[in-house]
Structure 1
Amino acid sequence: MSFTLETIHLPHLPSSLPVHVALYRDVQNAPFLRQQLISGNSEFEYALIDASMILSRAHVFSAVFRAVIDYLNKRLKSRNVHSEIVFSFSPTNNIADSFRKFGISDSTKDLLVVKVSVTPEITHDSVAAHLAQSIEGSPVSFTDETLSEIADVAKIKKAYKLGALTSAPAGQVNGASNAEKMRLENSVIGAIALRGAT
């Protein structure tokens, strides 16, 4: 299967909780996917994230780590670990606002999908098969390079209230210097960690 689903074991988390991540471009059925989430269809229990709001792999892993730690410690503020991942991207404690800013919308074209193996039957193969039949889009590699092509830096800075940081034009993380990229990434990851501490 040429489908690019990556299965990751995050450090400091139990190896029994692998995280499956896939990235899509040009998604055609975002309204259908969003409706499955809203209706609580358990087959679509994923974190569906608007990839234009993602800076890097580290940005994703920070939010996933936060959510899984809260799941393990029975501190979830939302419905399940997958909705908690979307919530964990937010620098504020407003769940509805975090879904509006970071979650899938009807107009989402670039989509990041995250699934945590919270039960043994959730495997790399089962997730890959379900996504292959459910998502109408082009799978692309989950790399910092691909994410930097998709990221809308202006929107990300607005969501994290980082207006003072200089940046390249929207969607061009590559246009920024490495130092700028690192500053922005550190600020975003810091905001995720800080909110978790409150």
Structure 2
Amino acid sequence: MALECINLEHVPASHTIHAALFQNIKNASFLHQQLLAGNTEFEYALIDASVIISRLHALAAIYRAVNDLLGNKLRSRNVHSEIVFSLSPNNNIAESFRRFGISPETTSLLVIKVSTPSSPAAGEDIQSHLSKVVDGEQVDFSDGVLRAMTDMVRVKKIYKLNYSSGVNGRGKENAVYGSDRTSQDSKELEMLILGSMALRGATN
């Protein structure tokens, strides 16, 4: 499975986004330590994929972080930490890292790399590095794969949603999943989460 290069609308071509999704991670503790140590070879957004419900959920955070970078409005150390922070429904940066960032217990991992003019990175170099340092299975960064990883109970708790969708717990789908009703529920849940992210700061 290859690293994905993502072009976001209204984001300059000079700011390239690369994404890779992994499951069955066996060295999360090592990766977490590199992040804590500020190892510059690990300049990535390392996100616990169990709290990401869809591609749009992740891309919304990336878009906001890159725009904040371009507008010199970063609240955290760099654009990669800002992506993790942008997933949060509140302004507590440390809490956002605990909730959305990699931890020693992480088993599914979304890795985002933003290449900028001041810090360029080629896709093949990123892929080569990740293949060496991430002990896990690289999988497709798709809604279907993410859905199987999502801990929906945890997601609803983080975003304080008392919303009942067709997904129950981590990767547990009821018999009607895929029906129009359940698909609609899933989309409505996604919109509630995106709204909570967008309103961060307005009510905190």
Confirm or deny a common fold (TM above 0.5): yes
**CA distance in structure 2 between the aligned counterparts of 1:66 and 1:121, rounded to whole angstroms:** 20
**Number of the residue aligned with 1:56:** 54
Per-residue CA deviations over 1:75-132 (Å, capped at 9, x if unaligned) read: 1111000000000000000001001100000000000000000246301111111101
Per-residue CA deviations over 1:3-52 (Å, capped at 9, x if unaligned) read: 42100010110011110000000001101101111111111010000000
Structure 1 residue runs of 5 or longer lacking an equivalent are none
Q: 3-state SS of the aligned residue for 1:104? A: coil
**CA distance in structure 2 between the aligned counterparts of 1:196 and 1:66, rounded to whole angstroms:** 13
**Number of the residue aligned with 1:194:** 199
Paired residues of 1:148 and 1:174 also in contact (CA < 8 A): no
Cα displacement (A) at 1:179: 1.2
Paired residues of 2:22 and 2:109 also in contact (CA < 8 A): yes
Per-residue CA deviations over 1:158-181 (Å, capped at 9, x if unaligned) read: 100112x11331123754501110
Query: Within 5 A, what are the aligned runs for 1:10-49?
Result: 10-49=8-47
Cα distance change, pair 158–18 in 1 and its aligned pair in 2 (3 A) = same
Q: 3-state SS of the aligned residue for 1:161? A: coil
Cα displacement (A) at 1:194: 1.2
Matched positions, count: 195
**CA distance in structure 1 between the aligned counterparts of 2:22 and 2:201, rounded to whole angstroms:** 28
- Under a length normalisation based on structure 1, what TM-score does the superposition of the two structures give? 0.94
**Number of the residue aligned with 2:128:** 129
- Under a length normalisation based on structure 2, what TM-score does the superposition of the two structures give? 0.92
**CA distance in structure 2 between the aligned counterparts of 1:33 and 1:196, rounded to whole angstroms:** 30
**CA distance in structure 1 between the aligned counterparts of 2:19 and 2:57, rounded to whole angstroms:** 13
**CA distance in structure 2 between the aligned counterparts of 1:13 and 1:174, rounded to whole angstroms:** 35
Percent of pairs identical after alignment?
A: 48
**Number of the residue aligned with 2:88:** 90
**CA distance in structure 1 between the aligned counterparts of 2:83 and 2:201, rounded to whole angstroms:** 12
- Partner letter of residue 144 of structure 2? E
**CA distance in structure 2 between the aligned counterparts of 1:121 and 1:170, rounded to whole angstroms:** 39
- Partner letter of residue 192 of structure 1? M
Q: 3-state SS of the aligned residue for 1:59? A: helix
- Greater alpha carbon shift after TM alignment, 173-182 vs 45-54: 173-182
**CA distance in structure 2 between the aligned counterparts of 1:170 and 1:148, rounded to whole angstroms:** 10
Paired residues of 1:67 and 1:84 also in contact (CA < 8 A): yes
**Number of the residue aligned with 1:148:** 147
Paired residues of 1:27 and 1:110 also in contact (CA < 8 A): yes
Paired residues of 2:87 and 2:197 also in contact (CA < 8 A): yes
> Could you tell me which of 189, 197, 203 is aligned with 1:184?
189
Q: 3-state SS of the aligned residue for 2:68? A: helix
**CA distance in structure 1 between the aligned counterparts of 2:153 and 2:63, rounded to whole angstroms:** 25
